[in-house]
Structure 1
Amino acid sequence: MAPTIILVRHAQALHNLSVLGRAQCNSLKENLVPKITGPNAELDVGLIIVSPMRRTIETALLAFGELGIPMEAHAGWQENSTQPCDTGSPIPSLRQEFPQVNFDHVDPVYPDKTSPSGKKYFNTKQAIMARGQEVLRDLKQRKEKAIIVVSHSGFLRSGVTGRWFMNADYRVFDFVDEDGEKDESGLVKIKEREWTVKEGGLGWSFEEAVELGDGLPDEEPALN
């Protein structure tokens, strides 16, 4: 059976997590941790996946770092744009800064997303929607019962879910064909659980949905 996935947007960050960001992480921790640990846990989380960027890693460590759950970095969950704030640091520096995180399986091309080598990470509708499908296929094959992913609002919304995520808010999804619904398009699809479907698990997010790919550019970027 495919795992349940808990998708989390990172908390507010200004270089490092801001005072507000740390407060957001505390709210996330207080709300979600009881649902994944202890006698009344609804979700048996066996893995935490993070986008290899400081704000996502810091959010994951502050909210879930004391749980002892393995934490892995994955380049597929990085943000869409090529702006400096959305382009990650080289993995060797992140390894030194965050020894709690496993960086062994990060795509070696990271953080490149402007050269031909980084084409799968381009900020285009085609590339981002394809990347969304790739990360979902990867999750669907995992053996854990539930997985937390800490990622970014743009990619979560336009590439994966069609839903809005405010800072540190989360939504919970199951794979569509795991509950008897079949899809003949060949696409991997997910369905949000009722208790987060409106404004997110913390109630901080917009309720309305958008189409996947909404607002993404169609043109290829200029290559370095």
Structure 2
Amino acid sequence: MPPTIILVRHAQALHNVDNNIHDPELSELGRQQCAQLKEKLMPRIPKDLDVGLILVSPMKRTLETALLAFGDLIERGIPIVAHAGWQENSLQPCDTGSPLPSLAPLFPAVDFSQVDPLFPDKTSPLAAPVYGYTRQAIVGRGQAVLRELRGRPEKAVIVVSHSGFLRDGVTGWWFMNGDWRVFEFDQSEPDEFDEVGGEDGTLGRVRLRQWEETREGGMGWSWDRSVPLGDGLPDADAGGDAEAEAGEAVVDGV
């Protein structure tokens, strides 16, 4: 049976003030939000959510959020694994990760061994089809990480990621800083096929079903509304226009 997934947006970070900060750390408000997240969600584990794994985008704000909010789980032996598939969408400095040789020593509790060797590259001919700022890349990446999660043996998995990717590539739902939503894999019907359903455009789209209690976020900070996956993202065939939009993309940093 596929795991329940708890999708968490990182708490507020310094790029909420200046988008040009490269791979920003959490703000003081963000650290307070982590404490609130911990207070709200941790009592549910393992009573309601038997978490066996924490996946985290290998960026400073997500890593800090995971360690501050879920450090108790890590102390209990729950593994925390960095995964490049969950990084943010745009090519702006704030959404571009740091090289692993400088990043990994800052977070010794995190397993970085499975991070894609392409990270933090998003623009080379090898990286752009997977990590580029296009509808096909972002939705395809979202479907790829969901298929990977669907095959995991754990009963529940926490993922700490980013608003843009969680909305545009994974769920269609809005996430505010430090908020979380819980989803099950919907196995009632076969995967739905469409032109951006998978990495190669031919795989069916993975269906998710959200817990009713998190429709406004587990913290109650998020909007009870959704958008189609990939909504508003540039197509890959837009060429240079897509690159320009990626550099000017609005950061979800409220």
Same fold (TM over 0.5): yes
Report the counterpart of residue 190 of structure 1 in structure 2.
208
Q: Which runs of 5+ in 2 are unaligned?
A: 15-23, 194-203, 244-254
SS of match in other structure, 1:200:
coil
Please report how far the alpha carbon of residue 181 of structure 1 lies from its aligned counterpart in structure 2 after TM superposition: 3.9
SS of match in other structure, 2:70:
helix
Deviations 1:68-94 (A, max 9, x none): 221000000000000000000001112
Q: Which runs of 5+ in 1 are unaligned?
A: none
Please report how far the alpha carbon of residue 17 of structure 1 lies from its aligned counterpart in structure 2 after TM superposition: 1.3
Please report how far the alpha carbon of residue 66 of structure 1 lies from its aligned counterpart in structure 2 after TM superposition: 2.0
Report the counterpart of residue 129 of structure 1 in structure 2.
139
Report the counterpart of residue 5 of structure 1 in structure 2.
5
Matched, 1:211 2:221: no
Alignment TM-score, normalising by the size of structure 2: 0.83
- Change in Cα spacing, 1:87 to 1:182, as seen in structure 2 (3 Å) is same
Please report how far the alpha carbon of residue 182 of structure 1 lies from its aligned counterpart in structure 2 after TM superposition: 3.8
Report the counterpart of residue 157 of structure 1 in structure 2.
167
Deviations 1:46-71 (A, max 9, x none): 00000000000000000001222210
Deviations 1:129-181 (A, max 9, x none): 1001000000001000000000000000010000000001000000010xx34
Please report how far the alpha carbon of residue 184 of structure 1 lies from its aligned counterpart in structure 2 after TM superposition: 4.8
User: What is the root-mean-square deviation of aligned Cα atoms in Å?
Assistant: 1.3
2:61 equivalent among 43, 50, 55: 55
Determine the C-alpha separation between the residues in 1 that align with 2:101 and 2:181. Answer: 31
- Answer yes or no: is the 8 Å Cα contact 2:173–2:226 preserved in 1: yes
Matched, 1:113 2:131: no
SS of match in other structure, 1:67:
helix
Matched, 1:16 2:22: no
Determine the C-alpha separation between the residues in 1 that align with 2:40 and 2:159. Answer: 16
Name the amino acid aligned to 1:171.
R
Please report how far the alpha carbon of residue 18 of structure 1 lies from its aligned counterpart in structure 2 after TM superposition: 1.2
Determine the C-alpha separation between the residues in 1 that align with 2:212 and 2:67. Answer: 27
Name the amino acid aligned to 2:25.
N
Determine the C-alpha separation between the residues in 2 that align with 1:22 and 1:7. Answer: 18
SS of match in other structure, 1:117:
coil
Report the counterpart of residue 196 of structure 2 in structure 1.
none
Name the amino acid aligned to 2:224.
E
Determine the C-alpha separation between the residues in 2 that align with 1:116 and 1:151. Answer: 25
Which aligned runs of 4 or more in structure 1 are off by greater than 6 angstroms?
none
Matched, 1:35 2:53: no
Determine the C-alpha separation between the residues in 2 that align with 1:128 and 1:9. Answer: 17
SS of match in other structure, 2:214:
coil
Report the counterpart of residue 145 of structure 1 in structure 2.
155
SS of match in other structure, 2:133:
coil
Please report how far the alpha carbon of residue 183 of structure 1 lies from its aligned counterpart in structure 2 after TM superposition: 3.6
Report the counterpart of residue 93 of structure 2 in structure 1.
84
SS of match in other structure, 1:202:
coil
Identity among equivalent pairs (%): 66
